[in-house]
Amino acid sequence: MILKSRRARKWAIAVASVLVVVIAGAYTLLQVADSRTFQFFGTLVSRVETGEKLVALTFDDGPDPAGTKAVLDTLKSRQVPATFFLIGRDIAAHPDLAQDIAAAGHELGNHSFSHDRMIGVTPSWVADEIEATDALIRTAGYSGDIVFRPPNGKKLFALPYYLAEHNRTTVTWDVEPDSAGTPDAATIEKTTVEQVRPGSIILLHPMYPAREQTRQAIGPIVDQLKQRGFRFVTVAQLLAARR
């Protein structure tokens, strides 16, 4: 009886140990999937080290009629470039808006075709998502290098490996004032200006109808950072300035 009890305890300890390892491993993978500064393969950039007061203004999603013209007008009035990470299905729905962004001289980045989270996916699915969107970006008239931003910042194995194999850079961010929701414009402006430092990459979501507060914040953000001596560049220009 005592021997059976000891064996049962040993078995329970072994099972518990395995569970701890599995849970710890799963937690680690989730942390990596969400990390803005690490991935298993290839190059990931959330900001750059630079001695210059440079900042990249980036917009996710769209193009969408609710936000594209207003954003372009704001950027034009202040003569600053930006990087638009566009979704393939939205480009397909509004090709004229993607063309307007490219014609205005801004950088077009790839934000996948479907905007599904790219973890636990197959290499062929990743390839389809990226290549279909690349083709639409080219059709819009953009000829520069195309950087990639994962939907919701999620990545694990297949996506980083594909990007590394094709010499593509994963671009995340270090300033995200509206990702958790839609605070008022003044809060978005204040958070952004307080957090930006040389080499920062700002992420904003101004495209869809519910994001009016973000659209209103863009002009004041640019004005405030310009007053503090920052110069706005595209992501590609920021990457080229790395020291």
Contact, 141 vs 103, CB < 8 A?
A: yes
Q: How far lies 174's CA from each of 17, 75, 142, 193, in Å?
A: 37, 21, 26, 12
Q: Is the peptide bond before 63 cis (omega within 30 degrees of 0)?
A: yes
Contact, 189 vs 215, CB < 8 A?
A: no
Residue length, the chain? Answer: 243
The one catalytic residue among 60, 64, 90, 134:
60
The one catalytic residue among 64, 90, 178, 205:
205
Residue 60 designated active-site: yes
Residue 184 designated active-site: no
Q: Which of 9, 34, 6, 4 is nearest to 152 (CA)?
A: 34
Contact, 239 vs 169, CB < 8 A?
A: yes
Residue 101: other Cβ atoms inside 10 A: 27
| Catalytic residue numbers, as ranges | 60, 205
